[in-house]
Amino acid sequence: HAMDDKLVSADHAAELAALRAPPRGGAGPLALVPRPDENRAPTGNSPPAPPPPPALPSGEPPTAGCTAVVAAVVRATLVVANAGDSRAVLADGDGVAVPLSDDHKPGAPGESARIHAAGGFVSCIGGVTRVNGNLSLSRAIGDLQYKQNGALGRHEQVVTAQPDVVVRALAPGDAFLLLACDGVWDVLDRQAAVDVVRERLDAGETAAAAAAALLDACLSPDPRATRGAGCDNMTALVVLLPSRRR
């Protein structure tokens, strides 16, 4: 929720402007843009969107958004917070993938109930459930046009940044954590992704190299043949736990 505040606060205008500035050696500015097409419905006869949110100090409406998954290891305890459809997965000592997060999709019963209670609706377009005929996620940072009901709390909005939190005691043999965004999970399930990473680690590669190999494994060889799977943006992080670092 603090990130949502920063998107509309004049106190953070300079920080946002710096993010938009051309990076050194870069090709151009980083713009606040809508999500890629795979998360948004085709234009045409879709129902109208809610009223626009408050504008940024620059006057540009903050219509961008992102998911977030965060993990913290505190002694022998693992804490994971998730909002959206990025995922956290634990690989135990036997290489079994243990889910640590659930995807927040509009069609899930709890998510759908909150969306409707906040005045939104859920539609199914091409087999994909969407918020107000558009967004295929029901929780995210940003996407402020879905957070305009002043009578409700932040966790009750059509789209909310409220995370689900999982707390788990780590076992001595637990091997590594894998955190990745939906571009990975569009291609591989949790176990398949863990298997790719584990194979690389067993071969003596670093965690960074294993994460890179996972992304390479997800890239589409032919976007038409895979119908777009393997073409989305992808980010992955592999974190070795103590048993694997020895």
Report the range of poorest mean pLDDT among 12-16, 58-62, 102-106, 157-161: 58-62
Question: How distant, in Å, are the alpha carbons of 62, 119, 137, 185 from that of 191?
Answer: 36, 38, 23, 11
What pTM was estimated for this model as a whole?
0.79
pLDDT digits (tens, 9 = 90+) for 124-183: 998 889 999 999 999 999 999 899 898 999 999 999 999 999 999 999 999 999 999 999
Beta-carbon contacts of 193 under 8 Å, excluding residues fewer than 6 positions away, are 89, 97, 178, 180, 184, 185, 214
The pLDDT, as a whole number, for residue 153 is 92
pLDDT digits (tens, 9 = 90+) for 39-82: 545 444 444 444 444 444 455 546 778 999 999 999 899 999 99
pLDDT digits (tens, 9 = 90+) for 29-39: 333 333 344 45
E strands within the chain?
65-66, 68-74, 77-83, 87-91, 97-99, 122-125, 128-131, 141-142, 164-169, 176-180, 236-240
Report the range of poorest mean pLDDT among 123-132, 204-213, 237-246: 237-246
Beta-carbon contacts of 80 under 8 Å, excluding residues fewer than 6 positions away, are 69, 70, 71, 72, 88, 100, 101, 165, 166, 167, 168
Tell me how far apart the alpha carbons of residues 239 and 207 are, in angstroms, rounded to a whole number: 7
User: Quick one: pLDDT band at residue 21, thresholds 50, 70, 90?
Assistant: low
pLDDT digits (tens, 9 = 90+) for 218-231: 998 888 888 878 77
Tell me how far apart the alpha carbons of residues 227 and 210 are, in angstroms, rounded to a whole number: 26
